[in-house]
Structure 1
């Protein structure tokens, strides 16, 4: 991507952040969380309508994350090379196609296929937003311009938390199919905003000094194709895909007889590592990533955080419907306190420099909420359910914001989009663990015993998250650590 804009008014380095970019950035980035969370209250109605138990409807969750975990870093790398506009338009168009397929799906298999399409369709929104932020930071000379990182986090938190409530409303109005139909107008709006607001790029970004390649023989056009193919690292992407798919398929339903998937994942991991260490321009630069300990720890922390977050989102919501007896609408309504607290916490803490403080308080909030979950039963008063949601609002508002800011400042500036995609990949790995854990805990029905078993697992993950934060000495600075490629000055960090 180049900074040359081929349409729209000229923008100078002295100008502030171009706020025309905010609507497509925010809408694109929420397409994944809205589909991730709205399905939470839809699993039970879909299971009832299609005669599928929780162990089968869990694939509706897993399919989205399988596709997105694979697609985010790949699309992020393409955005680093081609710029956000092209990938944004293609991906958001696919969201509309997926919405139509899901709305008309005759059975669970087609419904799962529509969720796979949704996963790939929502891949570009978040990496594109982070790439635009980096581009605007270069142009204006201000990191995290205008507090946009905070605005982006608050938008995603808002959608992630109100998703169950929105799902309940849509189910009440038009049944579970309405939750899939919602993607059609969202995709249309995203495409139109992308066409109108996102800057056109003049062409693929030129390779920097660290990405220089030997000159190829042949015509200028063939040399350009050869250099572009090398920069895409298609063999590395293919090995990464097989590695991730094998690992995620095992995590969806971990059983001893499926251990061969782990063997495949290990073999592909070794081949991927060997390939990336030899490649002139690797898909994931393991040499740089391996030397950036703060970023690696951030990815690990994200995985554990989202095990807790998504186990609550899917497992607790299913229990409130089947184990406690609430309707989908009321199950979403119970989570309103989490929505209010998460938004308030994100806004209040967004401009504070301390990442360590946010992560520690978020970790303590997870542990406290899981402990309260263990006291719940089918006879508990409704206010106890709302108390759990209220406590979960604290880590919901803090953790995502802190992790996002950490990656922004720790990642190689030239790989901002792909690094942001990897953050989402690790988050989806956590969601896959959460989904399979919830399915194993509940079996055929989401009863109180299964909810307590899930809460113990969540409590263990929350404690691990807290330990990873307390003993991480790289969090002493406001940016959340000092990666080798950090380009921000402390005065500009939020």
Structure 2
């Protein structure tokens, strides 16, 4: 379960230092390589709920093995990619393949909980969370080392041995369907999937190339989105259960905060890293090292505050530090000293350790217990949408390269997003009660 769960974060984090080398290899600007990010998260945003439903129907073993095998195929395709389009297709396959491990793990944990009567068997949830954070820390540095050693192709080739290891361990250790309680009677909401995928794809196509000539894409996204909402509200077995939001404005506010926070987080990860390489003149390896303080700060903050269930203070502090980090980006230039880059990376890591955990705690306090699984899945969907918006922002401001003026423009946008995050947090008075002991 741990090995399968790291496939997505390692591919996300390593790519941050590979976008500039890939663009140089194919002669394309960052606005084009941003599709490598978009393709992964589009596929994941749609693929994870789909595979989650299939896991409930057919058990985790089959879906885990198929998904991790697809990761190896995608890695092999990327190594021999003749052009950027081929590489984008491989990222789509990679996104679908990496979507299997999380729902498979949740299914197995639930089954083990039913068997043993323990709510959290052996603390595996904590192990899964820590392993993902650690991989996010070392991913850019590992990617930089691989690129320095043998070129950008190596960051994709690592998927082949990881896939083989998952296949061997999965075949040996995962229980067969006959040993588990599955629900093959549950249907698959194909129409909801198509409408959701159409809405996101049309919207992202417009954001990646905005203009009057592409305005029809907005119309397609609106129509697909309206149809999606109409259908999901009426479907007994929806693709994404929007009924978790019925009369629950507090939960909707948490989803909005998740989207805002991760838009800034992902835009910084990819935008700052590209600027370090193209305008500051650092190598992929050096850029990867400079991201270590960011992820290190996130882990330290999580360790120090993770036991406290109170969320409002975490969200307020996280939003304020995000504002400070975005403002600090406006001071950077091609000759900025390395120490200032390290400080900014560390500062931006602080809200990453505060906000995600706080939103998760808020969700568990606000969601209907009968729809907790759907509510948690929707939180991840909003995170992926934030990643998609971040990719579109990077494409818009780096249309002619990862320049300092582009970084400053991106920083102004992210500053506005961070301020909006702060305002939505302050306006939500219900957060004062989340995590606080109720007096007798």
Same fold (TM over 0.5): yes
| 1:108 and 2:81 aligned | no
Instruction: Note the alpha carbon deviations across 1:289-341, whole angstroms, 9 max, x for none.
Output: 32343332222111111110011101100111111111110011111211221
Aligned to 2:147: 171
Indicate yes or no: 2:33 matched with 1:57.
yes
Quote the Cα distance in structure 1 between the aligned partners of 2:310 and 2:120: 15
1:186 aligns with 162
Is the contact between residue 85 and residue 198 of structure 1 (CA under 8 Å) also seen in structure 2? yes
The answer to whether residue 6 in structure 2 is matched with residue 30 in structure 1 is yes
Instruction: Find 1:294's aligned residue among 212, 234, 250.
Output: 250
Name the residue aligned to 1:162. Answer: 138
Q: For 1:319-358, what aligned pairs fall within 5 Å after superposition?
A: 319-358=275-314
Alignment of structure 1 residues 218-233 onto 2, 5 Å: 227-228=185-186, 231-233=187-189
- Identify the match of residue 176 of structure 2 among 200, 209, 230: 200
- Change in CA separation of 1:477 and 1:39 when aligned onto 2, cut-off 3 Å: same
Q: Distance in 1 between matches of 2:367 and 2:173?
A: 26
**Residues 289 and 88 of structure 1: is their aligned pair in 2 closer, same or farther, counting only changes over 3 Å?**
farther
Preserved CA contact (<8 Å) 2:51 2:100: yes
Are the counterparts in 1 of residues 69 and 164 from structure 2 also a CA contact under 8 Å? yes
CA–CA distance in 2 between the matches of 1:422 and 1:188?
31
1:96 to 72, 76, 99: 72
* Distance in 2, Cα, partners of 1:445 & 1:244: 25
Render the CA deviation track for 1:357-376: whole Å, top value 9, x for unaligned. 33222222211111211111
- Correspondence for 2:420 among 461, 464, 472: 464
- Alignment partners' CA distance in 1, 2:58 and 2:355: 31
Q: Residues 183-225 of structure 1: CA distance to partner in whole angstroms, max 9, x if unpaired?
A: 111112222333334333436644xxxxxxxxxxxxxxxxx7x
Seen in structure 2, the aligned counterparts of structure 1 residues 127 and 462 have a Cα distance that, compared at 3 Å, is farther
Superimposed CA distance per residue, residues 10-49 of structure 1 (whole angstroms, 9 cap, x where no aligned partner): xxxxxxxxxxxxxx1x222221121112111101111111
Partner in structure 1 of residue 327 of structure 2: 371
Please report how far the alpha carbon of residue 417 of structure 1 lies from its aligned counterpart in structure 2 after TM superposition: 5.3
**CA separation of 1:401 and 1:257: change in aligned 2, threshold 3 A:** same
Unaligned runs of 5+ in 1: 1-23, 207-223, 481-488
- From 254, 261, 264, give the equivalent of 2:217: 261
Residue of structure 2 aligned with 1:447, choices 371, 395, 403? 403
Matched with 1:11 is: none
Q: Is the contact made by 1:99 and 1:114 (CA closer than 8 Å) also made in structure 2?
A: yes
Q: Which runs of 4+ in 1 moved over 6 A?
A: none
Within-5 A mapping of 1:470-481:
470-478=426-434
Aligned residues: 437
Q: Secondary structure at the match of 2:253?
A: helix
| Distance change >3 Å, CA 364–CA 130, structure 1 → 2 | farther
**Does structure 1 conserve the Cα–Cα contact (< 8 Å) formed by 2:143 and 2:155?**
yes
Report the TM-score when normalising by structure 2: 0.91
2:129 to 137, 140, 153: 153
Structure 1 match to 2:347: 391
CA RMSD in angstroms, aligned pairs only: 2.5
SS in 2 for 1:375: coil
- Assess if the C-alpha contact under 8 Å between 2:31 and 2:208 holds in 1: no
Instruction: Show the counterpart of 1:3.
Output: none
Q: Check whether the contact 1:153–1:400 (CA below 8 A) recurs between aligned residues.
A: no
What is the aligned partner in structure 2 of residue 71 from structure 1?
A: 47
Match 2:103 to one of 107, 127, 130: 127
* 1:284 pairs with one of 235, 240, 245: 240
Q: State the TM-score, normalized to the length of structure 1.
A: 0.82
Q: Which residue of 2 aligns with 1:221?
A: none
Call closer, same or farther: CA 1:127–1:399 in 2, change over 3 Å: farther
Tell me how far apart the structure 2 counterparts of residues 406 and 318 of structure 1 sit (CA, whole Å): 34
For residues 358 and 133 of structure 1, the distance between their equivalents in structure 2, rounded to whole angstroms, comes to 29
Call closer, same or farther: CA 1:237–1:315 in 2, change over 3 Å: same
Choose 411-420 or 315-324, whichever is displaced more.
411-420
Q: Distance in 2 between matches of 1:132 and 1:410?
A: 25
Contact 1:341 1:394 in 2 (8 A): yes
Taking structure 1 as reference, are residues 81 and 254 closer, same or farther at Cα in structure 2, changes over 3 Å only?
farther
